[in-house]
A and B are shown apart, each in its own frame.
Chain A
Amino acid sequence: MTDHLSPTTLNALVDGELSAGQLAAVKEHLDGCSACTSSALAHSLLKNATAKSGQRYHAPPELTERMKRLVSGQQAVDHRHPVASGVGRRAALSGWATAAVILVLVGGWLFLGRHALRSNTASTENAALMTEVCDLHIATLAASMPPQVVSSDRHTVKPWFQGKLPFSFNLPENLPEDTKLEGANLTYVHDRPVAQLLYSVGRHRVSVFVQEKTGESGTNDFLTHQAGFQIAGFSTRELEVVAVSDVDPARLSGLMDMIRRVQVS
């Protein structure tokens, strides 16, 4: 394969539609062609971003309830029993009594299990948040574009967000050694506007995402890693802050400590 890969091939590659033979040929080509490798990355990132942006509308709870009633009502009609008589009626009555006991037991179990379910939901949401901020950080690095506001001056960067975000935050004057504010972007996480602050720590880039705290959502202090990136976070009464970088965890924590200290508690 000497020519560059066609858009159709690149699409088929990111959509997982190539046969084993085609995939081997494409991989061989990508090994020796940086332009096509770059195009493949661009295709992959666009697909990923489209997948996230496309999941935009959420079914209202009333619709969900209505559809549940519709479906269960229809099925009840489909499977309606003839009028019970004699033995059948007694069997049905004992059935209802047993069903009532089961209902009470299941109700208790559901009540006890609700806490577990809630914590599962929270961990799923957190995992989604980690993935999203990692993707945004990677997309920022891959774009090789200057930030939307380019400045190392916190008095330039912070005011730039006026009117763009429904909240405000503080930026530290003093930063750890070899750490510099490079600028910032206005971006979106889970459809909410977020400040993406861009720092460099030595030659490492750090994205610090600052968003408004909503409801019960909250990231307690944490330091974890995903896809090779370190992810650190904390929350205040009004803000959630998450940082992503490939810098070592101690230096990331140092930067986050500085940012945390200047927030209004």
Chain B
Amino acid sequence: MRVVSVSLGLAGRNLLLVRRVPSVFIPSLVMPLFILIATAGAFHGIGALPQFAGESYLAFTIPMAAIMGAGFAGINSGMTLARDLEGGFFDRLQSSPAPRLALVLGPMLAAQARSILTTVVVFIAGMIGGVMLPGVGPTLLIFAFALLFAAAASFWAIGVALRSRTVQAAPIMQLVVFLSVFMSVAYVPLDAMHGWLGAVARYNPVTYILNAARSAELTGTVTWADTWPGLVSAVALLVVLGAFALNPLRHLENR
């Protein structure tokens, strides 16, 4: 199918830029690493709270860092698209018979590929800190969530890029991803939260993604009961943000 081959071609090009423009990718690689180390290091003491039930705070933080890294891998795709729109390269894509869907799927696939790398980095850092891989099932589950979240974040960033057509929109892309993770169970479990944050987190899809990842990590096994809320949330994000990304494609020629 043409959509597949063109998407792969565009994803390949997107990933090529990763090697060629390290100033863009290195930060997105360093950032989840930094979050992992800084969070687990600075707030290490919070692990003494009863709600943690003795779990290592570093282990608790790993899924959050992986998701954050996936989010930023997604943003990179949006940034590349914004640059293409500003610089005129997008004209070439638009005036070619490439299927419109591929223009979004390509960058999305690239984001997912990048998120695999950032998750690996997080896991390795965790191992250096003393937390071993949680077993095949949970590890794969965390990778799966990273892939899903990277796709969702890339849809978000792509939607912003297609509408704003400028790289100045980068802070908006970043802020929303930041807040979506920070206003979930980023630092403590839901039952340890005080006040407004608990209420917000309960409605945040990222909460359920992180909960699913963490319970698999803690118990060492993947159970349907613990996982389905996270999966449903991730899919919901994909659907909503996917529409957000694809909608502008129909009106590209109006500008």
A and B: bona fide binding partners: no
Q: Which residues of A contact B (CB under 8 A)?
A: none
